[in-house]
């Protein structure tokens, strides 16, 4: 992943968080720069009252907070400095180790997920936005494998389930939020693993900076439809599938259904390599296109069109739609 980043914003219905070396080749006037950052962010969320939260990407050598609130023109570690102070040897149950996702949940609380240290490192943490204190942490140790990359979380509030993607060992994790019990489903299936191609960006296939091997990132972006009927998901190299949430939820309790769950998955849209998605109140999905520096809009019938294309939309990661119908795009 590239190393420097920043945050822009796109009005009309967009905002973006952008990148530092801007050129003016192809720019869209609807897009506005909201924030320019010294470090890449791979997620953003906002509250109706105007609070803005970001998650700073953890790339080699990066320091500082992982989750922060942008307030008074500065980034304040969130929920506090202590949670953001992890160093090897700290208690992984009470620190953010390597945060990979952050969002405002259906009950108004952002959750963060991360992998690495078993059994107590992988977890997601609920922070109460009124008290700004950690309210609950759900442990993911039992459903995290050594090579897992716990990636992103979405909620199905009516069913009280959370769905979590594992981009390292391809699978979807279904968690009962009440009990905290979780189960891996669709592990290693075509829908979570994707085509045998590495991810692609700016027109070329990517290698891992650490090992030089082709870079694969499996089940990653996902969304729940506004009526909670469908769960949409895709590996990072593209190809979006969907499954009715009723099957995901039932598979949580029924292991024979869980073993044949791929049969209930439908191909939905032939999406390109992607950094992140968002879904609007009508159920349209916005999906970044890391090759074309664009955002595509996927209609309810799975057909897609280019929504905005702009050279500043470099590696747009987890997007956010606020209550003023603006799309926030962290250009990571």
Nearer to ligand NAG, 298 or 331 (CB): 298
Contact with ligand NAG (CB under 6 A): which of 303, 306, 324, 325?
303
Binding-site string for ligand NAG from residue 193 to residue 232, where x marks contact by CB under 6 A and - marks none: ----------------------------------------
- Asked whether position 107 contacts ligand NAG by CB under 6 A, the answer is yes
- Asked whether position 141 contacts ligand NAG by CB under 6 A, the answer is yes
- And the tokens for 332? 């990571």
Cβ atoms < 10 Å from Cβ of 244: 16
- Asked whether position 158 contacts ligand NAG by CB under 6 A, the answer is no
Give the DSSP per-residue string, 86-129: --TTS-GGGS--S--EEEE-TTS-EEEEE-SSTTTS-EEEEEET
Contact with ligand NAG (CB under 6 A): which of 48, 50, 64, 119?
119
Cβ atoms < 10 Å from Cβ of 118: 15
What torsion, rounded to 10 degrees, do the Cα atoms 104, 110, 115, 117 define? Answer: 180
Contact with ligand NAG (CB under 6 A): which of 128, 160, 246, 309?
128
- Asked whether position 283 contacts ligand NAG by CB under 6 A, the answer is no
Q: Which stretch binds ligand NAG (CB under 6 A): 7-15, 16-24, 217-225, 249-257?
A: 249-257
The whole-angstrom separation of Cα 277 and Cα 292 is: 15
Nearer to ligand NAG, 123 or 312 (CB): 123
The whole-angstrom separation of Cα 263 and Cα 247 is: 10
Q: Residues near 49 by Cβ (< 8 Å), separated by ≥ 6?
A: none
The whole-angstrom separation of Cα 303 and Cα 296 is: 10
- Asked whether position 71 contacts ligand NAG by CB under 6 A, the answer is yes
Q: Which residues of this chain interact with ligand NAG, rule CB under 6 A?
A: 71-72, 107-109, 119, 128, 130-131, 135, 139, 141-142, 181, 254, 256-257, 299, 301, 303
């Amino acid at each position: 992943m590239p190393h420097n980043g920043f945050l822009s914003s796109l009005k009309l219905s967009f905002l973006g968080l952008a990148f530092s070396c801007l050129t003016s080749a192809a720019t869209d006037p609807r897009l506005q720069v909201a924030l320019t950052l010294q470090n890449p962010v791979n997620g953003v969320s906002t509250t109706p009252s105007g609070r803005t939260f970001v998650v700073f990407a953890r790339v080699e050598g990066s320091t500082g907070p992982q989750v922060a609130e942008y307030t008074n023109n500065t980034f304040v570690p969130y929920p506090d400095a202590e949670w953001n102070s992890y160093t090897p040897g700290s208690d992984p149950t009470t620190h953010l180790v390597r945060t990979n996702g952050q969002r405002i949940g259906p009950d108004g609380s952002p959750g963060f997920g991360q992998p690495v240290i078993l059994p107590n490192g992988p977890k997601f943490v609920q922070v109460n936005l009124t008290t700004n204190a950690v309210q609950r942490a759900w442990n993911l140790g039992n459903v995290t494998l050594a090579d897992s990359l716990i990636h992103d979380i979405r909620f199905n509030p009516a069913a009280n389930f959370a769905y979590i993607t594992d981009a390292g060992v391809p699978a979807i994790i279904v968690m009962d939020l009440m009990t905290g019990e979780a189960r891996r489903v669709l592990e290693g299936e075509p829908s979570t693993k994707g085509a045998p191609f590495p991810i692609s960006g700016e027109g070329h296939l990517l290698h891992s900076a650490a090992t030089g091997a082709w870079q694969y990132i499996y089940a990653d972006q996902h969304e729940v439809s506004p009526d909670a009927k469908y769960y949409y998901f895709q590996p990072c190299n593209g190809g979006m599938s969907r499954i009715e949430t009723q099957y995901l939820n039932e598979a949580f309790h029924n292991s024979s259904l869980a073993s044949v769950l791929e049969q209930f998955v439908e191909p939905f849209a032939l999406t390109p390599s992607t950094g992140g998605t968002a879904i609007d109140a009508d159920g349209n999905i916005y999906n970044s296109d890391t090759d074309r520096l664009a955002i595509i809009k996927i209609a309810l019938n799975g057909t897609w069109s280019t929504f905005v294309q702009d050279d500043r939309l470099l590696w747009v990661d987890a997007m956010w739609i606020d209550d003023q119908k603006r799309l926030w795009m962290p250009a990571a």
